[in-house]
Amino acid sequence: MKVSKDYINLLPRVERARIQLDVGWVLPVALFLFAWLLLFGLQWKQQARLHGQLAQLAQKKQGIQGDLLALQKELGIDSPMDVSREKKALVTSLLKERVVWSEVFRQFSRIVPKGMWFDSVEGTATDRAEIKIRGGSMNYLSISDFMLSMEKTGYFKTPQLVYAQKTVINGQDVVGFEIIAAVTKGQGAR
């Protein structure tokens, strides 16, 4: 026999509906989780690709450092890669004290007037960098133009005419000269 409490429902209908499982929120939560997992997977894949590229760059760096060490050995440079600031400053100051002779001769090629030649060019860079030029010209004016051009370049300071003497060579008047000028060390022209 059934007891009356088995078939009598004492709960109101509204509360009864709340107890039932509401499936309206399951679909948005499932879509959110799917989208989140998709983005997480894409980020993980991109991270793996970047780690591969990083490994390749590390290998290239090691190869370049090996090449650098080989070049340093070939050139006779035996300094370590991590040189102190004092050593770098010393090297920089020594390079500033050096005369860049290739630039000096390049300037000569630009400023030597026609009808002038050099018999000898002597350069010293020990205490005071200077250059001594002996040569000849067809006239005195080209010598003075050459000295003025030397001053304007910025590579030469205070050119001085030691002598200029007119002589006759093979029936032609020629002016022999000697010029001494200080040479700018380091960077060169202004």
Q: Structural domain tally of the chain? A: 2
| Residue 96 identity | K
Same domain, 27 and 77: yes
Dump the DSSP string for 27-76: HHHHHHHHHHHHHHHHHHHHHHHHHHHHHHHHHHHHHHHHHHHHHHHHHT
Residue 75 covered by a domain: yes
User: Residue 179's closest CA among 127, 111, 126?
Assistant: 111
CATH assignment of the domain containing 147: 3.30.1360.100
Same domain, 65 and 107: no
Helix 101-111 with 140-153: angle, nearest 10 deg = 140
Same domain, 166 and 122: yes
Residue 5 covered by a domain: no
The pLDDT value given to residue 57: 93
- 29-51 per-position pLDDT tens digit: 889 999 999 999 999 999 999 99
Same domain, 61 and 107: no
Dihedral, CA of residue 52, residue 57, residue 58 and residue 62, to nearest 10: 140
- 80-125 per-position pLDDT tens digit: 555 667 777 776 766 666 777 788 888 888 889 888 999 998 888 7
Residue 88 covered by a domain: no
Same domain, 59 and 106: no
The pLDDT value given to residue 33: 92
Residue 12 covered by a domain: no
Same domain, 56 and 108: no
Average pLDDT, the chain: 81
Dihedral, CA of residue 51, residue 56, residue 59 and residue 60, to nearest 10: -130
Give me the domain span that covers residue 45.
21-82
- 130-166 per-position pLDDT tens digit: 889 999 999 999 999 999 998 888 888 889 999 999 9
Residue 155 covered by a domain: yes
| DSSP SS3 for 118 | strand
The pLDDT value given to residue 13: 55
